[in-house]
Amino acid sequence: MQGVDDWLAELGSAAPTPGGGAAAAMTAAIAAGLVEMVANLTTGRPRYAQYEADTARILARAAALRTEAVGLAEADAAAFGGVMAAYRLPREDPGRAEAVRVATIAAAEPPLRIAAVANEVAGLAAELPGRSNRTVLSDVAVAASTAAAAIESAAINVEINLAGLPEADRAPLAERLTAATTRLAPARDLAAHLRAELAG
């Protein structure tokens, strides 16, 4: 667990990155990994043969989203560095305000994509109950709960960028964020529903 320990220690440190954006990305990656695991424990089993095409699609997509999420943790750090660099320009620099604006718009992109990734993971998780290995249904519930937190966490990181932007820049990003967070409430509901079912 050395590499995981090291990353978590960096998260906890006073270093500006990784921060909340990278945390959202890792949370999304955990949710994707759980969906992938459930698909891996379903594929090829005779009892679920009728869902095999869906299982294979969910498996491949969850694995791709897991990998993408890890990359987004690094992209978030890089974009945050850009904002910091713009703020460090001399206050008398006539290009400073525009540099901050452009860097802030750019910094909204990684968390927007993290939200979209987590949103898609939540959608994949919602396909699994009834069609996947019943012995790991609790992992579907955990995946849904975790994906919901990743969506919310990413949204928070988009919104703090939006708060500093002029309305004209903000509106299109806010619209994209709305589209990338549609599954927050459904994922929470799915987790709660499965939890109640499993607790018997």
> Would you tell me which residues interact with a copy of itself (CB under 8 A)?
1-9, 11-14, 19-20, 23-24, 26-27, 29-30, 32-34, 36-37, 40-41, 62-63, 66-67, 70, 73-74, 136, 138-139, 141-143, 145-146, 148-149, 152-153, 155-157, 159-160, 162-163, 191, 194-195, 198-200
Residue (47 or 94) nearer to a copy of itself, CB: 47
CB of 69 to a copy of itself, least distance (A): 8
- Given a contact cutoff of 8 angstroms between Cβ atoms, the answer to whether 141 and 191 are in contact is yes
Q: Give the pair of three-digit tokens for residue 25.
A: 């990305």
Residue (56 or 63) nearer to a copy of itself, CB: 63
CB of 76 to a copy of itself, least distance (A): 12
CB of 83 to a copy of itself, least distance (A): 12
- Given a contact cutoff of 8 angstroms between Cβ atoms, the answer to whether 79 and 25 are in contact is no
Residue (97 or 198) nearer to a copy of itself, CB: 198
Tokens 């525009």, residue?
98
Residue 129 preceded by cis peptide, ω within 30: no
CB of 97 to a copy of itself, least distance (A): 19
